[in-house]
């Protein structure tokens, strides 16, 4: 039960902030009253975001900040609220453009400020590991005077929010060489060649942003890996978010995710700069990493790759809303966000006999990336089917959101009805090689191995986007409306065989592999045509 010990007659529930405790979690103690906690208070924008009203027009960073950032007056209200409750503002971590005010103080002060009762919990996750976290139940309370100012409060609960969507063949290390002989694996360069990525582009002038919620990289690994590929190791900038840093240590853990992401993206787009945003694996850390990347004017990524996520059912609606609005901000600014759709088939690993999709892949404002099994010979694709190794292995995530409504760009494709009557956004949008049996040869912490999962598809598409941006001379930005515009014949290979559990592939878009896998050079042609058509409509609309 929730305790509203800090609530007053002038307090109201913060909408969509309700949180429950994972099944099987047990209280193991009280939170130390003196424990220092930081929370990100996400403020509502000066003006709501409306991509439809903009009609494809992009905003400059200055225009976005002026219209859709947070107002100084709103931030001052939150600051005053914090002072009244014994909390201070971390000005260095707060940002009006990111609509984020970071409050910090003791657990005792936080509980009174937001009317919650924090406890220490323990539970065993689906992988059999024991997790400890500071948690809460029920909804948050905020002053009625701030009801029109606050969108979300993240960080009171610090449970692990997301999992990395990679799959490997056995343990990385001594057996990898033998396994490689028996499995049809590829280097990322070979996958790009099979998908006909533009050959006369390297991603020069582009920055690929990569979100990481754990693990780290070793420069020596990257140097050796790219030397073996005959390519120069990428220029990498590591950005710390909420105190997290690159922390390598386990080749079979998050390090495999980090190295898969950077090795795939940089091999595909060797001329691009890589900016890696390391953040704590919490809802607050994930949100802060995304907004930091989107609004990073120093590195200015034109595409952001995300290989982490979890079922919609594990998120608070306030966190999903804040994250999706940040993805809308990326779209308005011309930044593409590619996201892995998950590796647990149509259930997304939730054992309730229902279908679920992964978030943030289910955000209507990201390019959700599903997975295939790719077979090739002599540099040519022989077959491509839906990746599904269940029940012992993994399978591409896909299905229908129970939270986000079907976007306009999916109106002309056959998206199944959502299970609960609300929602409707179909996942994924596109796909690529993800089966670890036809996976990617990588190096992690000095060990060679073969890794797959939809985690590989997000950076693969991010690398392709970097190439397309260079070729087109401008960011492709929010790709989804262009891909669904109906002019993509030949640009996407339709995957028509296989299933991911509840859903079966078929002609056209489906909840397994979306619109299909890429034909990079033809996609460039299509995007030139669609961008020209959209620009003509935009110009005509402005003239009226």
Query: Could you give the residue numbers annotated as active site?
Result: 257, 261, 455
- Rounded Cα–Cα distance for residues 516 and 401 (Å): 19
Backbone angles phi, psi at 364, to 5 degrees: -70, -5
Lookup result for tokens 């003239």: 543
DSSP code for 413: S
Q: Which residues pair with 388 in a beta bridge?
A: 395
Give the separation between CA 459 and CA 210, rounded to whole angstroms: 8
Contact assessment for residue 519 and residue 491, using Cβ atoms and an 8 Å cutoff: yes
Indicate the helix (H) or strand (E) that contains 64.
helix 61-68
> Which residue do the tokens 């029940």 mark?
391
- Half-sphere exposure in the Cβ direction for 532 (13 Å, CA): 8
Number of other residues whose CB lies within 10 A of the CB of residue 327: 23
255: which residues sit within 8 A by CB, 6+ positions away? 215, 216, 217, 248, 249, 444, 445
Q: What are phi and psi of 215, to 5 degrees?
A: 75, -165
Q: CA-to-CA distance for 381 and 178, rounded, in angstroms?
A: 24
**Cβ-based neighbour number of residue 313 at 10 Å:** 15
Cα distance between residue 449 and residue 439, in whole Å: 10
Q: How far apart are the C-alpha atoms of 256 and 196, rounded to whole Å?
A: 26
Q: What is the dihedral of CA 479, 484, 486, 488, to 10 degrees?
A: 50
Quickly count: other Cβ atoms within 10 Å of residue 277's Cβ.
Answer: 27
């Amino acid at each position: 039960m929730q305790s509203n010990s800090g609530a007053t007659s002038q307090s109201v529930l913060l909408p969509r902030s309700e949180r429950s405790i994972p099944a099987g979690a047990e209280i193991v103690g009280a939170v130390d009253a003196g424990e220092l906690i930081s929370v990100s208070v996400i403020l509502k924008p000066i003006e709501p975001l409306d991509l439809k009203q903009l009609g494809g027009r992009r905003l400059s960073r200055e225009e976005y900040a002026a219209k859709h950032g947070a107002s100084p007056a709103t931030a001052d209200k939150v600051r005053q609220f914090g002072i009244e409750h014994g909390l201070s503002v971390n000005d260095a971590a707060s940002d009006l453009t990111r609509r984020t005010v970071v409050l910090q103080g003791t657990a005792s002060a936080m509980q009174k400020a937001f009317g919650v009762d924090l406890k220490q919990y323990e539970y065993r996750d689906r992988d059999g590991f024991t997790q400890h976290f500071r948690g809460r139940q029920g909804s948050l309370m905020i002053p009625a005077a701030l009801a029109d100012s606050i969108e979300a409060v993240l960080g009171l609960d610090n449970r692990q929010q997301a999992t990395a969507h990679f799959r490997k063949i056995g343990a990385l290390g001594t057996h990898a060489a033998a396994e490689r002989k028996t499995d049809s694996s590829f280097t990322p360069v070979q996958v790009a060649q099979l998908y006909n990525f533009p050959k006369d582009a390297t991603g020069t002038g582009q920055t690929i942003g990569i979100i990481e919620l754990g693990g780290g990289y070793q420069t020596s690994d990257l140097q050796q890996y790219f030397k073996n590929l005959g390519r120069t190791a990428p220029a990498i900038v590591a950005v710390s978010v909420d105190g997290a840093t690159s922390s390598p240590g386990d080749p079979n853990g998050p390090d495999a995710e980090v190295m898969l992401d950077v090795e795939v993206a940089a091999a595909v787009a060797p001329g691009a700069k890589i900016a890696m945003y390391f953040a704590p694996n919490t809802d607050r850390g994930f949100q802060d990493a995304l907004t930091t990347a989107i609004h990073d004017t120093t590195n200015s990524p034109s595409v952001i790759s995300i290989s982490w996520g979890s079922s919609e059912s594990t998120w608070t609606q306030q966190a999903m809303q804040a994250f999706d609005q940040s993805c809308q901000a990326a779209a308005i600014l011309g930044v593409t966000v590619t996201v892995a759709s998950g590796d647990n088939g149509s259930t997304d690993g939730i054992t309730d006999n229902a279908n679920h999709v992964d978030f943030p892949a289910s955000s209507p404002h990201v390019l959700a990336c599903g997975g295939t099994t790719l077979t090739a010979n002599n540099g040519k694709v022989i077959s491509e089917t839906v990746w599904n190794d269940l029940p012992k292995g993994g399978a591409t995530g896909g299905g229908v959101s129970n939270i986000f409504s079907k976007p306009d760009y999916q109106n002309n494709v056959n998206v199944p009805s959502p299970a609960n009557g609300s929602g409707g956004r179909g996942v994924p949008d596109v796909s690529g090689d993800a089966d670890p049996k036809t996976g990617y040869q990588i190096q992690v912490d000095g060990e060679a191995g073969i890794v797959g999962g939809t985690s590989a598809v997000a950076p693969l598409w991010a690398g392709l986007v970097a190439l397309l941006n260079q070729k087109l001379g401008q960011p492709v930005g929010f790709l989804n409306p262009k891909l669904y515009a109906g002019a993509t014949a030949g640009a996407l290979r339709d995957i028509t065989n296989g299933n991911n559990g509840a859903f079966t592939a078929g002609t056209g878009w489906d909840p397994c592999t979306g619109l299909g896998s890429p034909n990079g050079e033809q996609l460039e042609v299509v995007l030139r045509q669609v961008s020209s058509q959209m620009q003509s409509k935009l110009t005509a609309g402005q003239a009226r």
